[in-house]
């Protein structure tokens, strides 16, 4: 137990005193069932004269042993607890049930330190914030190597619906049409087609019959090409 006589502090109008302790868990009535500590608990705090009250503020530095809540690896996590309490003279009326009191100018800070320490210990510790944990299926450490196990959990009442969904998906796979590797949008197709246009063919005069004809083609009127009759035409 840590008891401190505050008589000298109360004699001063603005009295205060600072304290430094390096405590074993037993000094704070802590057991392994409460919390597993690594090393000692370092307490730095100050007691202030608050008139009838004694004010306590400071901090606790300690390390907790445990295991990662995801991958179950052992770890030691350093923690800091903030102290801020009030001590009332014993016999003060209308105090909450959990209020701290002192008697005969002696303040026992043990319970306040113990309570602050236990409230700071997290319910679940992690070896690192982004720990991936272990696979619940095969037990592999996913921090070491990725795991391809299916970790989905399905309510047993919905397993029949899952089987029905799988059948539906399998049915759809059988009738799915092939998708082009390079599918072109309608806008791109129409933009390309906008440049399509018809052009009037160029015509020249046939040197034989002087009718209009396509260049480098047999004249459809007289059947001549390059001064020679290639196709015989019916005479009217």
DSSP 3-62: EEE-HHHHHSTT-EEEEEEEE-GGGGT--TTT--BSSPEEEEEEEEEETTEEEEEEEEEE
Bridge partners of residue 103, in order along the sequence: 106
Please give the DSSP secondary-structure letter assigned to residue 170: H
Whole-number pLDDT of residue 139 = 83
Q: For residues 235 and 222, give the distance between their C-alpha atoms in angstroms, rounded to a whole number.
A: 9
Is the pLDDT score of 10 beyond 80? Answer: yes
Who contacts 229 (Cβ-Cβ below 8 Å, separation ≥6)? Answer: 222, 223
Largest CA distance in the chain: 146
Is the pLDDT score of 173 beyond 70? Answer: no
Question: Token pair for residue 11?
Answer: 């004699």
Is the pLDDT score of 236 beyond 50? Answer: no
Place of tokens 């009250």: 53
Q: What is the pLDDT of residues 108-162, one digit of tens each?
A: 999 999 999 999 999 889 999 899 888 888 888 888 888 888 777 777 777 778 7
Q: What is the pTM of this model?
A: 0.60
Rounded to 5 degrees, what angle do the CA atoms 50, 51, 54 make?
45
Is the pLDDT score of 57 beyond 90? Answer: yes
């Amino acid at each position: 137990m840590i008891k401190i006589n505050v008589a000298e502090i109360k004699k001063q109008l603005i009295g205060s005193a600072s304290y430094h302790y390096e405590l074993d868990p037993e000094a704070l009535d802590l057991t392994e069932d409460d919390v597993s500590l690594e090393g000692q608990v370092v307490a730095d705090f100050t007691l202030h004269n608050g008139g009838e009250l004694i004010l306590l503020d400071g901090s606790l530095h300690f390390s907790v042993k445990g295991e990662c809540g995801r991958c179950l690896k052992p770890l030691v996590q350093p923690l800091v607890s903030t102290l801020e309490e009030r001590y009332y003279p014993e016999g003060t009326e209308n105090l909450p049930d959990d209020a701290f009191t002192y008697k005969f100018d002696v303040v026992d800070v043990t319970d306040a330190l113990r309570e602050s320490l236990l409230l700071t210990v997290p319910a679940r510790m992690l070896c690192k914030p982004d720990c991936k944990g272990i696979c619940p299926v095969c037990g592999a450490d996913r921090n070491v190597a990725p795991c391809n196990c299916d970790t989905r959990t399905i309510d047993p009442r919905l397993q029949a619906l899952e089987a029905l969904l799988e059948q539906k998906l399998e049915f759809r796979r059988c009738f799915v049409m092939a998708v082009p590797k390079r599918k072109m949008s309608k806008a791109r197709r129409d933009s390309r087609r906008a440049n399509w246009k018809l052009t009037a063919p160029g015509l020249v005069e046939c040197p034989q019959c002087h009718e209009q004809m396509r260049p480098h083609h047999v004249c459809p009127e007289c059947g001549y090409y390059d001064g020679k009759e290639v196709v015989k035409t019916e005479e009217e």
